[in-house]
Amino acid sequence: MSKIKATIFQGGSVITMIVLEMLCFYLIINFNSEQQRIWLETVTVYTGGVNERVDGVNSYIGLRATVDSLQQRLADIKSATEGVYVAKAAEVDSVRDDSLRQRFVYLTAEVVNKSPYGPNNTTIINRGKMDGIEIGQGVVADQGLLGIVTAVSGEHARVMSLLHRDTRLSAGLKNSYFGTLRWDGDDPRNMTLYDLKSYVEVNPGDTIYTTGYSSIFPTGLAIGTVSATEKLAGTGNWRIGVKLLADPLRMRYVFVIKDLFKEDISILMENDER
């Protein structure tokens, strides 16, 4: 016992130094946005590769059913026209050329790491800059949405889940009335739609879709269904509960969406802001 006490006493300064260094590191990361961003990107690079190898052992469980599902989804995407293709009509010298121009392409990916469940849920996918992944791209699954890419390394990317306190998504009814969808941090299967005018007819069971008013998601992707409605006094707006079609926390095999028109639209938007 005396030897143990002596060892602790002799190493006390070292232990104190280590504790203080850990405390300083914690304060720097949590109270400095730039250092926090660097730390998160570093974690994206290293933990992505490690977790991908660990998860590889379990990837074969139910693989046949998953592959079949992915193949069917890919077939559906290739044959789909709504939201993925846009009509383009040109008229030159009285000769009319009607065609469909593809706007969105889908890239398969797999979730290889997840943050602990909390108010700021994120995931890591096994696609990165080398695959053409960029910040701001949407990520979806067979049914429902996962989130938006917020950081990218060479071979991995971090996705801000729908279940994140900073997520804001333009969503609405099929009749083009829309509002802002966000998560209130309570139930991982439910979100809330705000800013939809109260004169719009809304019924339980109505489907909520993406609006396409950005380069993140195509128009008309189903997000969930109306589970509850409440008129907010003094605002003229609804507060609408939305039950998600799928739980983002359980998604594994996903698709990253690339908008082929993003650069063109961004140039025009930048010109408007000048």
Q: Which of 101-105, 156-160, 242-246, 265-269 has the lowest mean pLDDT?
A: 265-269
Residue 43: inside a domain = no
Global pTM? 0.70
Report how many domains make up the chain.
1
pLDDT band at 176 (very low <50, low <70, confident <90, very high): confident
* Higher pLDDT among residues 252 and 2, named by residue: 252
pLDDT at res. 261: 83
What does DSSP assign to residue 189? T
State how far the Cα of 230 lies from the Cα of 51, in Å rounded to an integer.
43
Structural domain contains residue 235: yes
- CA 69/CA 119 separation, integer angstroms: 30
Structural domain contains residue 239:
yes
Residue 182 in domain: yes
Cα–Cα distance between 250 and 163 in angstroms, integer? Answer: 12
Residue 124 pLDDT greater than 80, yes or no: yes
CA distances from 41 to 55, 239, 251 (A): 21, 36, 22
Do the domain assignments include residue 222?
A: yes
Q: pLDDT confidence of 120, banded at 50, 70, 90?
A: very high
Is the residue at 81 inside a domain?
no
* Confidence band, pLDDT 50/70/90 cuts, at residue 152: very high
CB contact at 8 A, 194 and 239: yes
In a domain, 193, yes or no: yes
Give the pLDDT score at 81. Answer: 46
Task: Report the interhelical angle of 12-31 vs 33-56 (nearest 10°).
Answer: 100
How would residue 92 be classed by pLDDT, with cut points 50, 70 and 90? very low
Residue 66 in any domain: the answer is no
Domain that holds residue 177: 169-248
Arithmetic mean of pLDDT, 212-216: 83
Q: Write the CATH number for 203.
A: 2.40.10.350
Tokens of 75: 């077939």
